[in-house]
Amino acid sequence: MRFDVVTLYPDMLRPFFSQGILQAAQEKGLIDIRLHDLRLFSPDLRGLVDDRPFGGGAGMVMRPEPFVRAMEAVTQETGFPPFTVLLSPQGALFTQKVARDLARRPALTLLCGRYEGVDERVAQMCHLELSIGDFVLAGGELAAAVVVEVTARMVPGVVGRYASVATDSFYQGPILGFPQYTRPRTFRGLAVPEVLLTGDHPRIRRFREKEAWRKTLRNRPDLVGLDLPPSPGDGCRTCKGS
């Protein structure tokens, strides 16, 4: 799968994409990540990509021409129009399901906004407008990194054991992943649940399902349509008050 990221700051993303499973996946030829400097597509000889908003208002708005030129350049390279996403606080929420859908596409182009936003005509020319959460970042670069990593993990072979992906939080419906434990069996007075040491796999499976629901109700009741306040004492025993 090919990822093209159009950004004002390609050097910000280059180290992230050169580490861990993303680096390994690129070396294996499973994914191809390409970074494009938006300023190189500016019609202005000085490389300007923004201008004052029509109708007035604070800040600057990113012009449509550089993004559209970049989209056209990527299309010329791939030989077909890739699925194009504008990363924006006004976008639909990025979820695991969206990532699975994106991973089925051969190519994905991500446009990173900055300043007060991107000219709306760019959004109208994209297939999708996405947000990674109900907050505002200085730009779309971190969002692009999130979308690439989450989506790339859905590509077969990127994660060594696909079972690791299938048991992730959110993968099988609106439920968080179950708690995990490893050595030592006891750490600072906190013991691994005894059931995990029994070798009784049906019992372990039932325990994990129960604990996954317990964690979901405690941390994300909104996922199951509830609006519950956090219960006193439910937090981390070693991190009280956090």
Active site residues: 89, 116, 153, 168
For the chain, give the DSSP string: -EEEEEES-HHHHTTGGGSHHHHHHHHTTS-EEEEEEGGGG-SSTT---EEPPTT--SS-EE-HHHHHHHHHHHHHHHSS--EEEEEEEEEEEP-HHHHHHHHTSSEEEEEE-BTT-B-HHHHHHSSEEEESSSS--SBSHHHHHHHHHHHHTTSTTSSS-HHHHHTSTTTTSS-PPPP---S-SEETTEEPPGGGGS--HHHHHHHHHHHHHHHHHHH-GGGGT---PPPTT-S-TTSTT-
